[in-house]
């Protein structure tokens, strides 16, 4: 008998994914822009905030459910849009959608998803959001009609991607979309036979939500300004969330353009390097928004205590990307479910230990700045 070592943190899922995936695919998932300092900044920002527990609080009944844009989620953790989930597991986005629905949270489907949004929505019993890059007006109008017909009522516009960030690992690994078996990649394929066998047998991985566009790069548009966001607002009857904001003044502009929600995000450190960690700019954004819309955050969330810190600093909820991708790569739908469950259990324990029975009880009194030098 082989005994499966218990998974004790999201880091363990990262290890499982690294062992399952060929290097170029793992690096695409795990890596970031340039020297990956923004990736690190997201983690460091959480490490610099400490928790200040309240004791003597009755925490025997704890509740982490919350409302996000009219949807009650079982835990304040949503699934961030990520590209091409079928590279990670043959079930791809369908597995993610099913796990999110069973758990009771929202999956934000990427424009670059590898399963059609109609099929993902069909596999979901929870609302799905659609992440949009604004290509040009015709393509955008077409996409909006399509996602509305699929039953999506929240579009999440990503603004941190006027051009593609430079991912050194992908270049060095000769990564193509989709990855192809060839002279520069055969060693990577050979090193992960199970993955390769499944990948080569499956339908080719494509971008079925960008059929009207010639290629992925053409979905990026460096001319998207707030004026175009306001145009989009006029085109879209559902809710509009603006993602990729790291400044209070931009959050105000997003609200002026008609946004119903803000996601503080730097694309998981995959776009601009040497950017500010998302938790480091959360307060600026929350103050600017001043309660007029929910503020969400992604980037570097790896622990239940991270979720508690973000909510204490004013986020309504967080999104995770890489962690559920690692769960998917390791164990398909069950792996995504385990990632969500692990975070839920960590949040539950963190709430009990900080003395907050409900996420709504969290406020800035629960956090402080880590001392610059260790206390003696
Ligand atoms: C896609 O948006 C990516 O970051 O790879």
pLDDT digits (tens, 9 = 90+) for 44-60: 999 999 999 999 999 99
User: How remote is the CA of residue 83 from the centroid of ligand 1, in Å?
Assistant: 6
Q: What is the pLDDT of residues 77-134, one digit of tens each?
A: 999 999 999 999 999 999 999 999 999 999 999 999 999 999 999 999 999 999 999 9
3-state secondary structure (DSSP) of residue 299: coil
Q: What's the chain's Rg over C-alpha atoms?
A: 20
Q: Is 267 in the pocket of ligand 1 (CB under 6 A)?
A: yes
Query: What separation in angstroms does the CA of 142 have from each of 213, 231, 232, 257?
Result: 11, 14, 12, 21
For ligand 1, atom 1, the nearest C-alpha belongs to 83
Region class of 291: left (phi > 0), else alpha (psi between -120 and 50), else beta: left
CA 149, 153, 154, 155 dihedral sign is positive
**Are residues 239 and 294 in contact, defined by beta-carbon separation less than 8 angstroms?**
no
Which pLDDT score, from 0 to 100, does residue 10 have?
98
**Are residues 28 and 326 in contact, defined by beta-carbon separation less than 8 angstroms?**
no
Region class of 206: left (phi > 0), else alpha (psi between -120 and 50), else beta: beta
pTM above 0.75, yes or no: yes
Which pLDDT score, from 0 to 100, does residue 295 have?
98
Q: Is 86 in the pocket of ligand 1 (CB under 6 A)?
A: no
First to last CA, the chain: 49
Residue whose pair of structure tokens reads 């730097």 in the numeric block: 266
Query: What separation in angstroms does the CA of 33 have from each of 27, 164, 172, 341, 363?
Result: 11, 9, 13, 30, 33
Give the number of the atom of ligand 1 that is nearest the alpha carbon of residue 81: 2
Q: Is 243 in the pocket of ligand 1 (CB under 6 A)?
A: no
Q: Is 112 in the pocket of ligand 1 (CB under 6 A)?
A: yes
User: How remote is the CA of residue 309 from the centroid of ligand 1, in Å?
Assistant: 26
Which pLDDT score, from 0 to 100, does residue 4 have?
83
The CA-based angle 265-351-75, given to 5 degrees, is: 55
Give the number of the atom of ligand 1 that is nearest the alpha carbon of residue 83: 1
Residue whose pair of structure tokens reads 């610059």 in the numeric block: 372
Tell me which residues of the chain have a pLDDT lower than 70.
211-218, 374-376
For ligand 1, atom 3, the nearest C-alpha belongs to 83
Peptide bond into 368 cis (omega under 30): no
For ligand 1, atom 5, the nearest C-alpha belongs to 83
Which pLDDT score, from 0 to 100, does residue 20 have?
97
Which pLDDT score, from 0 to 100, does residue 213 have?
59
3-state secondary structure (DSSP) of residue 317: strand
Which of 267, 309, 331, 344 does the annotation list as catalytic?
267
Q: For this structure, is 212 an active site residue?
A: no
Q: What does residue 21 show for φ and ψ, rounded to 5 degrees? A: -95, 145
What is the C-alpha to C-alpha distance for residues 336 and 179, in angstroms, rounded to an integer?
Answer: 23
What is the C-alpha to C-alpha distance for residues 348 and 105, in angstroms, rounded to an integer?
Answer: 16
Which pLDDT score, from 0 to 100, does residue 216 have?
54
User: How remote is the CA of residue 255 from the centroid of ligand 1, in Å?
Assistant: 25
User: How remote is the CA of residue 111 from the centroid of ligand 1, in Å?
Assistant: 10
User: How remote is the CA of residue 232 from the centroid of ligand 1, in Å?
Assistant: 22
3-state secondary structure (DSSP) of residue 131: strand
**Are residues 141 and 231 in contact, defined by beta-carbon separation less than 8 angstroms?**
no
């Amino acid at each position: 008998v082989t005994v499966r070592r218990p998974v004790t943190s999201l880091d363990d899922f990262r290890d499982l994914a690294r062992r399952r995936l060929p290097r170029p695919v793992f690096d695409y998932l795990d890596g970031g822009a340039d020297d990956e300092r923004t990736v690190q900044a997201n983690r460091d920002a959480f490490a610099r905030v400490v928790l200040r527990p309240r004791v003597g609080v009755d925490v025997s009944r704890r509740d982490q459910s919350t409302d996000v844009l009219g949807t009650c989620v079982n835990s304040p953790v949503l699934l961030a849009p990520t590209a091409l989930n079928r590279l990670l597991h043959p079930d791809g986005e369908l597995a993610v959608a099913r796990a999110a629905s069973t758990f009771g949270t929202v999956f934000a489907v990427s424009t670059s998803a590898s399963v059609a949004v109609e099929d993902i929505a069909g596999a979901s019993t929870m609302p799905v959001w659609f992440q949009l890059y604004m290509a040009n007006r015709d393509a955008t109008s077409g996409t909006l009609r399509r996602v509305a017909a699929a039953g999506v009522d929240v579009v999440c516009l990503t603004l941190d991607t006027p051009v593609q960030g430079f991912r050194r690992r992908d270049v060095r690994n000769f990564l193509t979309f989709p990855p192809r078996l060839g002279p520069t990649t055969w060693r990577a394929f050979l090193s992960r036979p199970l993955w390769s066998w499944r990948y080569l047998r499956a339908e080719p991985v494509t971008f079925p939500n960008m059929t009207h566009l010639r290629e992925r790069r053409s979905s990026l548009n460096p001319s998207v300004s707030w004026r175009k966001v306001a145009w989009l607002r006029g085109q879209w009857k559902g809710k509009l969330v603006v993602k990729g904001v790291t400044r209070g003044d931009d959050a105000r502009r997003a609200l002026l353009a008609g946004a119903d929600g803000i996601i503080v995000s730097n694309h998981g450190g995959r776009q601009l390097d040497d950017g500010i960690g998302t938790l480091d700019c959360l307060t600026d954004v929350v103050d600017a928004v001043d309660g007029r819309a929910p503020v969400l955050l992604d980037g570097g969330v790896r622990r239940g205590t991270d979720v508690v810190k973000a909510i204490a600093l004013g986020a309504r909820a967080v999104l995770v990307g890489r962690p559920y991708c690692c769960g998917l790569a390791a164990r398909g739908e069950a792996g995504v479910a385990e990632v969500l469950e692990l975070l839920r259990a960590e949040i539950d324990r963190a709430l009990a230990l900080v003395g907050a029975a409900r996420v709504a009880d969290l406020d800035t009194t629960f956090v402080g700045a880590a001392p610059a030098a260790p206390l003696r």
